[in-house]
Amino acid sequence: MKKKNATGYRVPLFDRIFKPRVLVLANGHSVAQPRSRMPLIIGTVIALVYLSIKLTGFDLGIIARRGHQFFVILSQIFSPDVFNISAETYEKFGMDPAALSLLSIFDGRWWEALWYTMQNSFAPTVFGPLLDTVRMSVLGSFIGATIALPIAVACSTNINRNRASVTILRLLLNIIRTLPTLVIAKIFALIFGLGTYAGTMAILVFTIGVIAKMMYESIETIDMGAFEAMESFGANKFQAFWSACMKQILPTYLSYCLYALEMNIRAASILGYVGAGGLGILIDERIGWRDYNGLGTVLIMLFILVVTIEHLSQYLRKKLS
């Protein structure tokens, strides 16, 4: 709350509680120097941090006692069984484990040992769920992006003059974007049963929410001169939009589709936690069984997939721009 002084200036509540310091200048005039707010800010931050520690039960002692376990687990994750060539395997292919060096990679027997290890590791089990993850992402992204375009057009105020329908559609999009993908996948898993179908539907709905939101904002910024000229010649809204506006928004639309595919690849990898198929099932199993070497194999294959999709998407978006 602020109160006006004699000059009409609104004095903040802080300055009324903590009176400014009056300084007398050499010429006899006096000025009021406001008190620093920094002590109040620091005190408030300290109080909030202390309250948060008490409410959450945060204990630095636990981190000091158990923090080293993080590095133990991390070392196992970064030693996936797909690369752990045993001494028995080396001997099987006629190599001496004690004589190995960096030059061993130029020995064909080393590659044979690596291939043998990969075949007998957890890696072959990962390929099926990994392909399920890609299928869910691609199919859900494609169908969702296709449905999102007409919804985005209907949500654009410069195309659709009906404010009621625009408000309702935008409200539905806000609700969709509010729900996390895992929650959507859980709902569809309860409706359609466990498996990749529920995951595909979750990605589809999520893609609609994201692309439709970004697209109607882009559509509202385009030049409407050609659209209005087409309407004046007797074209309906669909014909006018397709002829006059589609060329303007097509590069942006395709760029958003590729961006959504990137996000969906990452999101699809954890949908298995709620029974929606994909790599999430394997990740949950490996963590539950404390098989961190197998978990490392899953994560490294997911990493390769995500990096490949991301670089391909960036290349295509650069071409579109």
Report the CATH number at residue 150.
1.10.3720.10
Same domain, 287 and 193: yes
Strands 21-24 and 10-11: unpaired
What is the domain extent for residue 109? 60-115
Q: Which three-class secondary structure state does DSSP give residue 205?
A: helix
From 90, 115, 140, the end of a domain falls on 115
Is 1 inside a domain boundary? no
From 73, 98, 115, the end of a domain falls on 115
Is 69 inside a domain boundary? yes
Is 5 inside a domain boundary? no
Same domain, 41 and 130: no
Same domain, 129 and 230: yes
Q: Which of 141, 183, 96, 153 is nearest to 309 (CA)?
A: 141
In the chain, helix, strand, coil percent, each to 5?
A: 75, 5, 25
Rounded to whole angstroms, the Cα distance separating 278 from 269 reads 6
Residues 6+ apart with CB under 8 A from 209: 173, 176, 177
Is 6 inside a domain boundary? no
Same domain, 148 and 253: yes
Over the stretch 157-210, which tens digit does the pLDDT of each residue have? 888 888 899 999 999 999 998 888 888 888 998 898 888 899 999 999 999 999
Apex CA 250: angle with CA 245 and CA 256, to 5°?
Answer: 130
Is 3 inside a domain boundary? no
Same domain, 269 and 172: yes
Supply the DSSP string of 85-106, one letter for each residue.
--HHHHHHTT--GGG--GGGGG
Same domain, 195 and 65: no
Residue type, 52: S
Same domain, 30 and 41: yes
Rounded to whole angstroms, the Cα distance separating 241 from 224 reads 9
> Do 144 and 205 meet the contact criterion of CB atoms below 8 Å apart?
yes
Q: Where would I find the beta strands (DSSP E) of 5-141?
A: 10-11, 21-24, 30-33
Same domain, 180 and 100: no
Q: Which of 228, 266, 263 is nearest to 244 (CA)?
A: 228
Burial class (CB in 10 A: 0-12, 13-18, 19+), 227: buried
Instruction: Answer yes or no: pTM beyond 0.85.
Output: no
Same domain, 86 and 143: no
Rounded to whole angstroms, the Cα distance separating 112 from 110 reads 5
What per-residue confidence (pLDDT) applies to 171? 93
Same domain, 183 and 242: yes
Q: How many structural domains comprise the chain?
A: 3
Rounded to whole angstroms, the Cα distance separating 320 from 314 reads 10
Rounded to whole angstroms, the Cα distance separating 223 from 225 reads 6
Query: Where on the phi/psi map is residue 57: left (φ > 0), alpha (ψ -120 to 50), or beta?
Result: left
Q: Where would I find the beta strands (DSSP E) of the chain?
A: 3-4, 10-11, 21-24, 30-33
Ranges of the chain with pLDDT below 50 = 1
The total number of residues shown for the chain amounts to 321
Is 2 inside a domain boundary? no
CB atoms within 10 A of CB 213: 20
Rounded to whole angstroms, the Cα distance separating 229 from 225 reads 6
From 115, 148, 183, the end of a domain falls on 115
Rounded to whole angstroms, the Cα distance separating 179 from 7 reads 52
Is 190 inside a domain boundary? yes
Same domain, 308 and 249: yes
Is 188 inside a domain boundary? yes
> Do 172 and 208 meet the contact criterion of CB atoms below 8 Å apart?
no
Same domain, 175 and 305: yes
